Amino acid sequence: MLVKSTEFFKNLPPKKCAECGNNIDEQHECYGNKCDNCNQIK
Ligand SMILES: [Zn+2]
């Protein structure tokens, strides 16, 4: 059975910040495992 790419991405677990647990925008992968807020603090 074919799975649409959109369905595939929906099934991926959201990336979460290691500091506060907020979901991380996938555009910010280069920052590691922390969200914008936590990256600004440190
Ligand atoms: Zn955070």
10-20 per-position pLDDT tens digit: 777 778 889 99
Integer Cα distance of 32 and 10 in angstroms: 21
- Show the 3-state SS of 13-27: CCCECCCCCCECCHH
Ion ligand 1 neighbours, Cβ < 5 Å: 17, 19-20, 22, 35, 37-38
Q: State in Å: Cα 2 to ligand 1 middle.
A: 36
- Taking the CB of residue 24, how many other CB atoms lie within 10 A of it? 20
Q: State in Å: Cα 7 to ligand 1 middle.
A: 27
Q: State in Å: Cα 24 to ligand 1 middle.
A: 8
pLDDT value for 30: 55
Mean pLDDT of the region 25-41: 72
Higher pLDDT, 42 or 19: 19
- Secondary structure class of 2 (helix, strand, coil): coil
State the pLDDT confidence band at 29, using cuts at 50, 70 and 90: low
pTM passes above 0.75 = no
Domain range annotation of the chain: 13-41
Integer Cα distance of 18 and 5 in angstroms: 27
